[in-house]
Structure 1
Amino acid sequence: MTEQLHIVGGGMAGSEAAWQAAEAGIDVVLHEMRPEVGTFAHQTGNFAEMVCSNSFRSDDDEQNAVGLLHWEMRAAGGLIMAMADAHALPAGGALAVDREAFAEAVTARLRAHPRIRVETGEIRSLPTEGHWIFATGPLTSTALAEAIRAETGADALAFFDAIAPIVHFDTIDLSKAWFQSRYDKGDTEEERKAYINCPMDKDQYEAFIDAILEAEKTEFHDGETAGYFDGCLPIEVMVERGRETLRHGPMKPVGLTNPHEPNRKPYAVVQLRRDNALGTLYNIVGFQTKMKHGAQTRVFRMIPGLEEARFARLGGIHRNTFINSPTLLDERMRLRSRPNLRFAGQITGVEGYVESAAMGLVAGRLAAAELAGRDLPPPPRVTAMGALIAHITGDAEARTFQPMNVNFGLFPPIDDVRGGRRGRKDRYKAYTDRAKEAFTAWLG
């Protein structure tokens, strides 16, 4: 009788790992501490709950590394991508989902699987026996984090992650704001209108920046230092880097025309992206924040169109823990000191929902193969999944290791394989063609 696989954590990585292993014929016990033990960011006990954004980012599988990762996960029968596709929202060239419906669907599929048993409760230590995958994500409980530190002999690295506020649609003033996707991206009118835009002139922008600088912020506890992931910087940190940083980042006005004043170019634009299928909630794009709640309300109501805004959720900040994978994990994502324990998802130092789910997919398949007595290597490093695994388990510099999104910079150079110099579009297409061929062979 094949031994069962234990998976700790029902987020993106744990959910996908459980699905892959169960589909491969392995009995799985999925351990999730919620709702018995909550976290700062989660609001439900559902699996794969999205807490920071509703976006899986670009779905372009020929010119974008994360779009290629989407393709690989779909090709591997991934649950996360199947449910994302089933609950997609218009978002131009990106893949965004109805967060609540998505999480409910993932939860229902996992609970209904005949080979998956769910156990609620906190795992506080590293088991000495059995086969385990730890996919506890950025909000790993204090007790488990301490157990990991005790086993590895090194402190788990940590940075702080900020989440953006969500606004009720019916409180947005559309006499000032307007629907438009940047550069009118999207195949349908609905997709091109997945975003709401709030314009600012120069004086409004300068006053807004002053208000952010003066607002009361969340303070860190004694001994804590803030090392943020660049893809999820609080707006206050961006503003501290220069007054124009927001205007060249999440508030850039390019590719947009205000129909209320078509001949007047906005100095800056705040974008809101649809957050659910009903279109009743919109999140403020790129506005992760560590401002205290009272300050957020005052500052964000300075945005034209949001003067009367009601917030379904204000922004916040939480600790994000991850291990130094280059020193601790082997190429099959196993803890070198305890090969019966695997790690997957954000705790390994990948960043983003898609990347986390992809690492869960690989960990689930590797563990299932091992339990079935088969020797399955990790995906080739020319694939998106393989490039991520190679990065976190050996390519990255351990001393300066930080969370990383998938990107073509992690891939072996294409010229090393096929020769010649190419323009960027041709080069990216060559990367994706090569990856798809290699990934298809790995699946086979």
Structure 2
Amino acid sequence: MPLTAFLAWGIAHAYSTVVTLTGGRQGMALPWLVSFLLLWWVPLSWLERPRTTSPQDQAELDRLTVTVQIPVYNEDPDTLRACLHSVLVQTRPVDRVRIVDDGSVHDDGTPMTYADVRAEFFERTAARGVEATWDRTPNRGKRHAQMHVLATDDADVFVTLDSDSLLDPEAIAEGLKPFADPKITSVAGQVVVLNHDANALTRMRNLLYLPFTRGLRSAQSVLRRVTINSGTLAFYRARIVRDVAGVYENEMFRGRPMQMNDDSMLTFYGLLAGDTVHQPSSLVFTLVPQRCSHYLRQQMRWMRGTTVRHLWWLRYMPPTGIVFWSAVAEYVHIVLGIAIPAAVIADPQLRANTGTLVAAGLIIGTAMSYLMALRLFTVHRTDMRLRQALLLFALAPLAAAWRTLILRPMYFYAMATCHRVNRWGTRTSVEVTHSPREQPA
């Protein structure tokens, strides 16, 4: 109740301020009010709590057969070794691990076999009684690598894990807990940056992840309608994935095969079949790009994929549901982001108050940035000192500026070129390597 009252006061105060600045013209203040309301997910995200289980439910979960699938392509061997190690030391042991090497090659074009990693992997899985497979296939993309083994696997739950990511020891145990509810079809893990201190770009990625992973996704989880899992770590009822074999890996957009954005497509299938949630206690630490060129390519792939998925939500999600309207809200937000500055420039009275309006926008934006950045302190990390976390928190407005000045224009370009699905390639060589000191405890 106090939170609701505070939000109501904030909305009313913001509205009255803009009305005053626009000379009492309430119609001119309406776009600002709508833009403010489109941030509904910010306060709602703080209501998210990890799912828990009763002893009876936990006993049922313990009986589930769990398969972890890891697609590999041009991965750093040490990173892959660390990834596999993190799977095998889970407090809730998995039943199967299925590796599919999607035709990895060295820079000179010769096959990358991972012979040492593979031998060690089979030795350790045999000692633990874990069923393991390691296949090599021609390079066809991540979706084909996944379905190469999952289409015929009879497990109860599939876990998709990227080969450049390391699981927290409790990740599997925590990620399975929401499945105690039979309505839940998919669970997103919480993604945390592993190489956070490599350079300025990776430090900023800590902040850039938060508005989505612990902002919008957390808010959607409260409503049980998470729209995009991270392929980095996600859990699915296996029947959902098996049922779309042959369709999922052959998705087309404007007559062209679409291999990227696999995570959002699997989440989409989960949404069609039931409820989708986020489990913030299921942690995965992932390597992020350390070079701007790698980072920008990754962002462009994600943005184009999100654009396509928005169209899918508008077409297939019920118009009475939150997923449909979240897609509408995204487009409204984009339009207002263009229309409001245009209105200020075009109207003499608004133009006279430009400085005040910009200052108000900066204050609100800064406050929102710091509210989201507080999420940095919800994960205790032995590889990040308090001083580092406080410095990142202090720099939160810089990440907001990056999103506004760099990522937003990129998003416009991605929307205009989303049909270029044939250009959504993956890395052609090893781009990020793992250092043992980056291993979080």
TM range (shorter): under 0.3
TM normalised by structure 1 equals: 0.23
Which has the larger share of helix?
2
